Amino acid sequence: MPFVKFSGYKELLLAFTLALALWYGMSGSEKLESQLEVRVEYRGLPQGLVVRKGYIGKVSLRLRASAGVLRSVSERDFSVQMDLSGVHEGENMLAVNPAYLPNRGGIEVIEVVPSRIELHVDSLVSRTVPLTALVQGAVPGDMELTAAFVPPEVKISGAASLIRDIDKLEIPVHIELPLVPGTKESRRTLPLPDGVDAAPADVAVVVQAGMKRRQVGIVRNVMLDAEASDGRVAVPNKVRITVRLPESAAVGAVSDPNLRAYVRPGHDAGASLLPVQVDLPAAVELVSVDPPRVRLEKPRAPAPPKKAQQAKKKPSKAGASASKDKKKR
């Protein structure tokens, strides 16, 4: 095969380089379009207002630039700044103006989607509400359950439309069976609607379980030691004792011999008013004694029996004759 000798290879290499550079320049300067999502930043919201809804985190930009420039663009290079200093309570329509976007050489913003952001702005208010227990589960018939909160009320803050109808916060209290008498304490995060804050955000819940009790009034004779009373008696000799006891024991309490009232005269023979003391069976609580004191007095001598009315005397025979003579006359 014959060998072909090229001359002027330097000129050929230079021409090739120039052609390549020309092609790259023409392709790089060609305008292309691209879609890019960028973050939205909000600033300048007036004090005392809160955005209830309408916030969006990103908008879509439609950009036009050369291929080379577009290849170097990323989301981190852009952000949309929304100025909220002029918003008011109610509905606010804010335009996303491309003129607010950072200017970068060779990039043209053709479209922003969405072009408007609708914000619902509400006034920011606070109020104090009590905490109540929402018992979940069945309490056994002979038991009762109470729940207390520390603190018993909290301060909530948020949009007026959100907290306007909140007059209390219900804290769920779950019943764990078997329910054992006693006290349990735990901390609970408050169940709050979205957009509502509370101070404090969590509270202590104190749950106390015990036997169901009821209040009963029982009349008892006042007992006293015959020797120490020195012959005196209690006046009045009956008192009404009010007690709290388990419901299951309420029926038999009236006849329970372990529940009694008594006084102790002591060494002071001259003392007349003495406190009534009460003996109670187990699991029974004393509420009151009426009257709380009784007087010790010497018993009065029994009154003589009333004499039977004497039968009316019958008139004598002489008297009867005399009256007859008077009538005849």
- Is there a shared CATH topology between the 125-211 domain and the 213-297 domain? yes
pLDDT at 137: 87
pLDDT at 106: 73
Structure tokens at 103: 């200017």
C-alpha–C-alpha distance, residues 147 and 128, integer Å: 20
- CA torsion sign, 194 to 197 to 203 to 207? negative
Pick from 72, 71, 79, 3: which is nearest to 41 by CA? 79
pTM: 0.53
pLDDT at 24: 55
Q: What is the pLDDT along the chain (329 residues), one digit of tens a residue?
A: 555 454 566 667 776 677 666 655 555 556 788 888 888 999 999 999 999 999 999 999 888 888 777 777 777 777 888 999 999 999 999 998 766 555 566 788 888 899 999 999 999 999 999 999 998 888 887 788 899 999 999 999 999 999 999 999 999 998 888 888 889 999 999 999 988 999 999 999 999 998 888 899 999 999 987 666 777 888 999 999 999 988 878 878 888 889 999 988 765 555 568 899 999 998 889 999 999 999 888 877 666 666 554 445 555 555 445 554 544 44
C-alpha–C-alpha distance, residues 80 and 97, integer Å: 9
Place of tokens 């100025």: 83
Query: CATH number of the domain at 213-297, out of 2.170.120.30, 2.40.37.10, 3.90.1150.180, 3.90.1170.50?
Result: 2.170.120.30
Instruction: Identify the CATH class of 125-211.
Output: mainly beta
Q: Does the domain spanning 9-114 belong to CATH 1.10.3470?
A: no
Query: Residue ranges per domain, the chain?
Result: 9-114, 125-211, 213-297
Contacting residues for 169 by C-beta, under 8 A, at least 6 apart: 129, 130, 131, 132, 154, 156, 190, 191, 192, 198
